[in-house]
A and B are shown apart, each in its own frame.
Chain A
Amino acid sequence: MTETEYLEKTGAEPALEIRETQISNGDPAFSSGIFSQFFELWRYRELAIELFRTHLKLRYVGSFLGFVWTMLNPLLYVATYWFVFSYIIRMGLPNYPLFLIPGFLAWNFTFGSVVTASESIISSKYLITKIAFPSEILPIISVAVSLFDFLVSMGLYLLTVMILPPALPPQTVLLPVIILIQVVLTVGLALLVASTSVYFRDIPKLVQVFGNLIFFVTPIFYPLSFIPERWQPVLGLNPMTQIITFYHELLYDWTWPDSSAVAVSAVIAVLFLVLGLWVFNRCKHGFAELS
């Protein structure tokens, strides 16, 4: 077979081969198609990179402060929470900003990703109906843009802590592992909301409202230990609870997290990714028609 005779099938590969008579909703694309899906994504990696750059570039078009907003936004929030929880409602935690910042940035990463991802497919309607490309790229880019902000601001935070008296805890070495787990979880959530909101346009709004609600029942500006013990398992149902707690343990408490807890978190994150992919693959055949 010469190069030009290379076989390319359009659309979702397995679905085309299997479905001689099947109806479009509910096809078994996932089980057999996952590898071709990753192959397809790999083939379009240059598009993903180029779109990622574009999104970074376009974010602050026409804004005077531009990239400064990436730093300024979380800083203003942190300053507000710092003021409220140190001077109005006294949390009683020494060096409160050091406690607050890492968890807050981490939360911002996941929440920001999911919010933009929920609109990513709907708002790219004109692309999806006119060009053939793997639509998974869109929610993944939402995550990538938020991750970029998170890494920059986290890097600045660590740098500041390193220079100023508190010094960097040795536990920082474990930070990439926690971030990786969080990225996997976030991609799963992003795929989930991006694909379902094509069918239910309320989802982006629900994400906003519930996200703000969940923010308060996630130990971000308070430690988990402040919650009565019998309620702690309820908070634990939220996968972000454990992840934010890891950040607190590593960067504020200077303790090594329980390895089994890390393992459980990783498994949950992977399960969310699988769920997100599965739902996305079931939904994506309708994108070009419904969006």
Chain B
Amino acid sequence: MPDLIVECRKLSKKFRWYERHDMLKSTIANSWKSDKEVWEWYVLNQINLEIRRGERVGIIGRNGCGKTTLLKLLTGIYTPTSGTVRIFSKRKLALIELGVGFYPELTGRENIKLNWVFNGLARSELKDRFDEIIDFAGVEKFLDTPLKYYSSGMTARLGFSIVAHARPELLIVDEILAVGDMEFQERCYNKIEQLCKGGVTLIIVSHNPADMERFCDRAVWIEEGDFRYDGEVSEALRLYKEMVLG
């Protein structure tokens, strides 16, 4: 077997929508009704995915096709409805949204510390990385300022910088780089490229074909909870474009 880092077997995720489920009163009232209004659908249906160490996989598909759901399953935020997810890595880091876990009242320094451990990293490692993090984010002057006074760009930079400098082995990136100005985007892209050269395994969601071509050596197209295509980046983009344009 090749050197796998991600293995999903028959992975499914079912979501439910209830008419209204959060009130005790309506729950009791609804328990009398036989035809409860419940919508269920499979966002992902029996998916098999294998990713080898060092692969850089891009995920494409329309809004609501299950891209973020897949990432959240890989990250462990969601529990699968059925099937298995296995990650063979101790250093799995995710950027689902920039600046999550930041507390506006805490200073930049305190937030770096807190965010580091939120990502499941050991505090002892932070010392060596700290300077790189603030250097990349460009916040050295504002380290002892509460985060609420940071601009949104600074906050985003800091969020990205912490994860990017944590030496990920498996990096999961949702569509986060759309925010921020071009300079920030370019800096992030360069950092990701640098990580890729260092052998990181990348799973990235993006709507930008240029990003895909730049980072990925494999693309997965998800449509209606299933994989439509899994393979060459250019071919995946071509098929996807064909479908979208009709």
A interface vs B, CB < 8 Å? 3-12, 15-17, 19-24, 43-44, 46-47, 50-51, 54, 57-58, 61, 126-133, 199-202, 285, 288-289
CB pair A132 B94 closer than 8 Å: yes
- In the complex, what's the smallest C-beta–C-beta distance from B62 to chain A, in angstroms? 21
Nearest-Cβ distance from residue B83 to partner chain A, whole angstroms: 7
Task: Report the separation of the CA atoms of residues A47 and B123 in the bound assembly, to the nearest whole angstrom.
Answer: 9
Q: Which chain B residue shows the least CB distance to A55?
A: B103
Annotate B15-39 by CB proximity to A: 1 below 8 A, 0 otherwise.
Answer: 1000001111001000000000000
Contact A5-B88, Cβ < 8 Å, known A24-B14, A46-B117, A127-B101: yes
Docked CA distance A129–B85 (Å): 18
What are 6 A-B residue pairs whose CB atoms fall within 8 Å in the complex? Answer: A21-B82, A46-B117, A58-B103, A130-B100, A200-B27, A201-B22
Residue in chain B with minimal CB distance to A288: B77
Question: Is A7 touching B88 in the complex (CB atoms < 8 A)?
Answer: yes
Q: In the complex the two chains form, what is the Cα distance from A61 to B79 in whole Å?
A: 36
B87 touches A10 (CB 8 A): yes
Contact B100 A11 (CB under 8 A): no
Which residues B103-136 have CB closer than 8 A to chain A?
103, 105-106, 110, 113-114, 117-120, 122-123
> By the criterion CB–CB under 8 Å, are A127 and B100 in contact?
yes
Using a CB-CB cutoff of 8 Å, which residues 78-108 of chain B contact chain A? 78-90, 92, 94, 96-97, 100-101, 103, 105-106
- Please tell me if the beta carbons of A16 and B22 are within 8 angstroms of each other in the complex: no
A76 → chain B closest CB, angstroms: 26
Evaluate whether A126 and B100 lie within 8 angstroms (CB atoms) in the complex, with A4-B90, A10-B74, A289-B78 already known.
Answer: yes
The contact of A132 among B15, B27, B76, by CB within 8 Å, is B76
Instruction: Given A12-B79, A46-B123, A127-B100, verify A199-B117 contact (CB < 8 Å).
Output: no
The residue among B75, B77, B101 with the most chain A CB atoms within 10 A of its own CB is B77
With A7-B88, A47-B120, A127-B118 given, name 4 new contacts (CB 8 A): A5-B88, A22-B82, A200-B22, A200-B23
Q: Is the CB of A285 within 8 A of B79?
A: yes
User: Given the complex, which residues of A lie within 8 Å of B75, measured CB to CB?
Assistant: 10, 132
Tell me, rounded to whole Å, the shortest Cβ–Cβ distance linking A109 to chain B: 25
> What are the residues of chain B within 8 A of A19 when measuring CB–CB?
80-83
